[in-house]
Amino acid sequence: MHKTIVCVGTVVRRADEILLVRQSAGHSLEGQWTIPWGQVDQGESPTAAALRETKEESGIIAEVEGLLGIQELPEPWTGMIGILFLCRHLDGEPEPDKRETDAAAYFDRDAFEKLSATREALSHWLVERVFGSNYVSLQSDASNPFSPSAGYL
């Protein structure tokens, strides 16, 4: 039996723009524009992993605003789940890591719609929903008895 792998992704907003990264050669999503994604390391919380992956792949410092949802990933990633967060830009300008990503940029809705390069399907769908305000974001509640650990209930 294989272990379930937990991945995290972030939809980072800066004013009316959303952050995307392009996956480098050799990545399973090579050449596709995606939201920042990555795996949760052993002993790491999903929120910490999401912010780490965002910083590593794009150079952007962000903070989590809420939980967008959980997605079971299809082939070829069966056995992996993605936890998706809505984030707010805090600092930095998009800069790819030149290892996993070869480009990083903020797109407003018009630029996103005109983007002729390949967009990964789930990232495209999520970004369209956020641009269209067609989503629900669960907020962490400071009255939760496990606070300050993130809990989206």
- pLDDT tens for 50-104 read 999 999 999 999 999 999 999 998 887 788 899 999 999 999 999 999 999 999 9
For 92-112, b/e burial (b = at least 16 CB within 10 A) is eebebeeebbbbbbbbeeeeb
Average pLDDT over residues 134-148: 91
Q: Are β-strands 33-34 and 80-91 bridged in parallel, bridged antiparallel, or unpaired?
A: unpaired
Cis peptide before 76 (omega within 30 of 0): yes
Q: Is the pLDDT of residue 147 over 90?
A: no
CATH number at residue 95: 3.90.79.10
CA–CA dist 135, 73 (Å, integer): 19
Closest CA to 16 of 110, 96, 99: 110
Question: Is 109 within a domain?
Answer: yes
Higher pLDDT, 21 or 77: 21
Question: Is 144 within a domain?
Answer: no
For the chain, what is the domain count?
1
Q: What is the pLDDT of residue 44?
A: 96
Question: Is 136 within a domain?
Answer: no
Q: What is the pLDDT of residue 1?
A: 52
Range of the domain at 13: 5-131
Question: Is 153 within a domain?
Answer: no
